[in-house]
Amino acid sequence: MRYAQVLVYENDTLLTTMLEEKARQEKWSLRHPRDFAQCAPLLRRGGPSVLALRVGRDLEFELSLLERVAYLFPDAGTVVVGEAAHAALAGLAWDLGADCVLLLPQPGEMLPEVVAGLLKPAGGSEARS
């Protein structure tokens, strides 16, 4: 069985901190790619995957990464996390393919459950490979 992977793109450790405990419990692989060139091979290998993307530092790059991942890897879940100051970007993130948009200070405990939901295959059965 292939473990689920969560790709975390962030400029600090906030998302990683939010996801570490759930990742340990569920045996998710947390990976930290720095650009699309590192994301693509991880997503190509198959299996359940989610990109958790924190936006706000380099919006052009971050939204481009979201768009490329959503378009080229439609089976991978995408979660965009931003600050309340970036609320105007929520609609754009949805249009670019985000499966979920969380604006902080929404409760941080939502992120692990959202990721868990996106990693479950349709029909609710456990993933196998």
Q: Is residue 92 helix, strand or coil?
A: helix
Residue 64 makes CB contacts below 8 A (sequence gap 6+) with: 36
d(CA 19, CA 38): 20
The pLDDT value given to residue 119: 93
CA 90 centroid distance within chain: 15
Task: Assign a CATH topology to domain 5-119.
Answer: Rossmann fold (3.40.50)
Contact 60, 67 (CB under 8 A): no
The pLDDT value given to residue 7: 97
Q: For every one of its 129 residues, what pLDDT tens digit does the chain have, with 9 covering 90 and above? A: 578 999 999 989 999 999 999 999 999 999 999 999 999 999 999 889 999 999 988 999 999 999 999 999 999 999 999 988 888 889 999 999 999 999 888 777 799 999 999 998 754 444 433
Contact 114, 93 (CB under 8 A): no
Phi, psi of 2 (to 5 degrees): -85, 130
Beta carbons within 10 angstroms of residue 83's beta carbon:
13
The pLDDT value given to residue 122: 54
pTM higher than 0.85:
yes
d(CA 104, CA 85): 9
Tokens of 115: 């990721």
The pLDDT value given to residue 123: 46
The pLDDT value given to residue 86: 83
The pLDDT value given to residue 1: 54
Q: Which helix (H) or strand (E) holds 31?
A: strand 29-31
